[in-house]
Amino acid sequence: MRQRLSKSFVAGLLALGAAPALAQPDAGTLYKTHCASCHGETRLGGIGPALLPGNLRRLKSTRAAKVIAKGRAATQMPGFADKLDDDEIATLASFIYTPPAAAPKWDTADIDESRDVTAPPVPVSVPAYEADPLNLFVVVETGDHHATILDGDRFEPIARFGTRFALHGGPKFTPDGRYVFFMSRDGWVMKYDLWALAVVGEVRAGINSRNIAISKDGLHLAVANYLPHTLVILKTEDLSIEKIFKVADRKGVSSRVSAVYQAPQRNSFIAALKDVPEIWEIATDPNAPPVFGGLVHSHEKGMVEGLATSSGLFALRRIETAEPLDDFFFDPAYRHLIGSTRGGQSAIVVNLNVGRDIARIDLPGLPHLGSGIAWTYKDRPVMATPHLKEGRLTVIDLADWSVIKTIETKGPGFFLRSHDNTPYAWTDVFFGPNRDLMHIIDKRTLEVTKTLKPAPGKTAAHVEFDRDGSHAIVSIWDMDGAIVIYDAKTLEEVKRIPMSKPSGKYNVWNKITFSRGTSH
């Protein structure tokens, strides 16, 4: 039986000089001493990214401890193994995954103070290079937090520059293709001039952000935030604030914003809300016919939020759904969206015109609808989506929402891409032991026609096509990675360019024309 030591016995040991156990290092003091100068006193970020649980989901705590000890290559993050012992490093790693006592704020004053807009070093009226400016690729290299501008005709780099930590959600381009906007997980929005090849502005629109969307006319940029619970609208010209929506449902229940999308035919933004069963539609053109005027009646779900907001710039319409929906796919006309349900076993189809659910599709295995693509199959409009938890692609008829076929793959996938000028769709096997494979599917037969292994043992992912669909570019997601260019007709490798974990590639033309073969 375990015996307790009496207080007098412990006192006696101390009197004899027995050393007490060393006190555990104080996390707050350690953070203030070693981290606050770069990451901010309240962990909201500064030179370095915000260190809050919501911002660190892509970084496992064990990996965070290694970064604290050894630093992060090709960044300003130093290693602290020579200053801190293992216990102190473990304490810091645990601390940054601990939620703050009070939810941090990021309001109008904070956003305004963070804004920095500069002119290009040399003003230009034409591109500063001979490449086709509409066939450029923006390649995001997350390995060392850089972006490369790639000539899509010669497949040669034109420029390379540093970005913020953990870019996410895909860059967005102005309609003329001149400017591109990036967003990082910790809320920084960067504006880059693709003609001058220069950063021309930055602003921090949130603390933990999900993605951005640009309006059809290129005048407004929407930022979806997890923290705080806001949707921020910025002017693309100078990144100044136009409007901040504090996001909550009709009952006042606050919600994170999962994502925001441009709906070009509707002159609106569509926002997915993480915590409440609502979809928001926000007008982006005050002179266009109201998207929802006259279509919705007060007794229906999707009723307009008050008659005064039924038209005009940034008018808000709420569409109520049976449950919270996430990860949207839009049909090419932007009349319908398909959203994943919370359980990841089905998807709900919402008719945006009438503002209500119209179908439920059985889709087990957590479909990644945001990576879905569309094409015409046997004179029928169809879409296909990979699944994040099962090795399959599901092909859905967009006319009646039936499942046409399930295509088995060698493992769960993340990205699916195609182009109107190719008969093939390319999908990765992102998760599991076969992550180095890339399946090529014939859109005419719905069969896997070829399987590639671009870099054995390394993850192959995120295909993007050039402007005319003649080439497909594959990323090798590795610190010692590359982009691999394939002839889209012969499926043979053409060229390989070394890069540092090129997580995504974005072709200007495909993005500004809303190609059916890529994400929007």
What's the CA gap between 346 and 348, in Å, rounded?
7
Question: What's the pLDDT score for residue 203?
Answer: 98
Instruction: Specify the fold of 11-96.
Output: Cytochrome Bc1 Complex; Chain D, domain 2 (1.10.760)
Q: CA separation (Å) from 60 to 149, 258, 337, 407, 467?
A: 30, 21, 33, 32, 37
Query: What are 185-224's pLDDT values in tens digits?
Result: 999 999 999 999 999 999 999 998 999 999 999 999 999 9
* Residue pair 482/496 in contact by the 8 Å Cβ criterion: yes
pLDDT, tens digit (0-9, with 9 covering 90-100), for 171-184: 999 999 999 999 99
HEC letters along 28-91: HHHHHHHCHHHHCCCCCCCCCCCCCHHHCCCCCHHHHHHHHHHCCCCCCCCCCCCCCCHHHHHH
pLDDT at 24: 61
User: Is the pLDDT reported for residue 12 higher than 50?
Assistant: no
Please name the residue that has the structure tokens 């649980």. 53
Quote the pLDDT of residue 291: 56
CA neighbours within 13 Å on the CB side: how many for 420? 10
pLDDT tens per residue, range 378-435: 999 999 999 999 999 999 999 999 999 999 999 999 999 999 999 999 999 999 999 9
Percent of the chain surpassing pLDDT 70? 90
Confidence tier at 45 by pLDDT (50, 70, 90): confident
Compute, in degrees rounded to 10, the torsion defined by CA atoms 483, 488, 492, 493.
-20
Q: For residue range 331-383, list pLDDT tens digits in order.
A: 999 999 999 998 889 999 999 999 999 999 999 999 999 999 999 999 999 99
SS3 187: coil
- Report yes or no: 191 and 222 within 8 Å, Cβ to Cβ: no
Number of H helices, E strands in the chain: 7, 33
Q: How confident is the model at residue 446 (pLDDT cuts 50, 70, 90)?
A: very high
**Residue 113's pLDDT band (boundaries 50, 70, 90)?**
very high
Domain parsing of the chain, residue ranges? 11-96, 361-520
Q: Write out the two tokens for 81.
A: 């193994």
Domain 361-520, CATH number (from 2.140.10.20, 3.20.20.60, 3.30.420.280, 3.30.43.10): 2.140.10.20
